[in-house]
Amino acid sequence: MNAQVEKVYEQVVARNRGDLEFHQAVREVLDSLVPVIEKQPQYAENGLLERLVEPERQIVFRVPWIDDAGNVQVNRGFRIEFNSALGPYKGGLRFHPSVNIGIIKFLGFEQIFKNALTGQGIGGAKGGSDFDPHGKSDAEVMRFCQSFMTELSRHIGPNTDVPAGDIGVGGREIGYLFGQYKRLRNRYDAGVLTGKGLGFGGSLARTEATGYGTVLFAQSMLGTKGDSLEGKTVAVSGSGNVAIYAVEKLQALGGKAVTISDSSGYVVDEAGIDLDLLKQVKEVERGRVADYVARRPGAKLVADGSVWDVPVDVALPCATQNELDDKDAATLLKNGCVAVSEGANMPSTPKAVEAFQAAGILYGPAKAANAGGVATSALEMEQNAGRTRWDFATAEKKLAGIMEDIHSACVETAEFYGKPGDYVLGANAAGFTRVADVMIAHGIV
């Protein structure tokens, strides 16, 4: 690593002790930027790197709420407003017991480059809470969301910071959050949150966007080899929003998803995942993958091992960070996997990424491959600003165009820096230069 870049990384570790996921995300980006800095040294001048890795604002707050038994519960809320060079802060809210400030920093840092790649004029942020909505009643979720938004509302706005959903935050949660924001601010700022219901400013294709985009990116990568997803067998991890709509788009393009998963294990369905049943179990009943297996002849639930043990042509990790390690990567490669496109945020460990790149397979990193969600969130903001709503075909066409532009930017940037086919370098360098150029233009702020 370049000495100056190494110094920046050491400072990040010293200032953010224990935030291991954040360290990992910063290391991955900085490693990629060495050829960029060496070729264009102005990007390391005036403390630009030091400013880039330090959030502009970190907000931590108490979230008290009352459960159905009348007991007071207390959770912790976070919002990391990382970088606003390109536009208002933009990034999701995650409600999950694993959430801590290090997780939010890593997600917010990744969001800077992902958002830059979309070309939509949005900055990077992330937020959430260690609240677990699973198993809570609608009334409990509502009371928590109202308490959470009571504090968050003073920090966000359509031209300041626009949160969206993430793990644990779906349409129900966004609805409660928006209702409380409107109540507190006495303003109908439809553009203050994205992922809203269609009746109050939501965008068609937003629900599908992350999963669709991940598959479209895989299709574009395969296209560089004269190949496609037609006839491919695919492993999908997770069973939430991203996984469901990755399965849907795969089927539309002629691929066959044979796995889904959750914390209880993974499903193998050699006939191909039954999309209608999956949606019924996960979106309507809020059930588990075991419920899918109970109603799907031929499907089996595997409680141990890894979803990546299943022989497939393509892998789409759509669950959570660091879910795919070097052993999983070795298994995928041994079984003939030719492409990996990341639907979750940083789902592959550094050693897994090294294995994919050393093998020369197509590997689409999350900040490029899963940018469809935030891209369509920006399209939702655009519709809100114009008080209009596009039909599904229009929104999906715009999403497809953005994903193709992201893929092209990654390919062209990797070639510019002498590493054709390196999507990690391409995504990091393309996103970084877009942000860095504007930071330079804005001065030292």
**Enzyme catalytic residues:** 126
Ligand-binding annotation for 84, yes or no, is no
Q: What does each C-alpha distance from 48 to 39, 107, 202, 437, 441 come to in angstroms?
A: 16, 20, 36, 10, 11
Q: Identify the CA nearest to 113 among candidates 365, 325, 343, 319.
A: 365
Ligand-binding annotation for 264, yes or no, is no
Q: What does each C-alpha distance from 360 to 188, 329, 346, 363, 365 come to in angstroms?
A: 50, 12, 19, 8, 14
Q: Identify the CA nearest to 83 among candidates 191, 161, 166, 192.
A: 161
57-66 and 72-83 strand pairing: antiparallel
Write the burial class of residue 392 (CB in 10 Å: 0-12 exposed, 13-18 middle, 19+ buried).
exposed
Ligand-binding annotation for 377, yes or no, is yes
Q: Rounded to an integer, what distance in angstroms lies between the CA atom of residue 221 and that of residue 227?
A: 9
CB within 8 Å of 20: residues ≥ 6 apart: 102
Q: Identify the CA nearest to 444 among candidates 4, 9, 48.
A: 48
CB within 8 Å of 291: residues ≥ 6 apart: 281, 285
314-316 and 339-341 strand pairing: parallel
Q: φ, ψ for residue 305 (rounded to 5)?
A: 80, -160
Ligand-binding annotation for 282, yes or no, is no
The residue count for the chain = 445
Ligand-binding annotation for 241, yes or no, is yes
Ligand-binding annotation for 249, yes or no, is no
- Contacts of 257-261 with C-beta under 8 Å, sequence gap 24+, read 257/316, 258/233, 258/234, 258/310, 258/312, 259/235, 259/307, 259/310, 259/312, 260/236, 260/289, 260/292, 261/237, 261/289, 261/307, 261/319
Ligand-binding annotation for 210, yes or no, is yes
Amino acid at 71: N
Asked if residues 380 and 201 have their Cβ atoms less than 8 Å apart, the reply is yes
- Annotated binding-site residue numbers: 90, 111, 114, 165, 210, 241, 377
- Annotated binding-site residue numbers for NAD(+): 210, 241
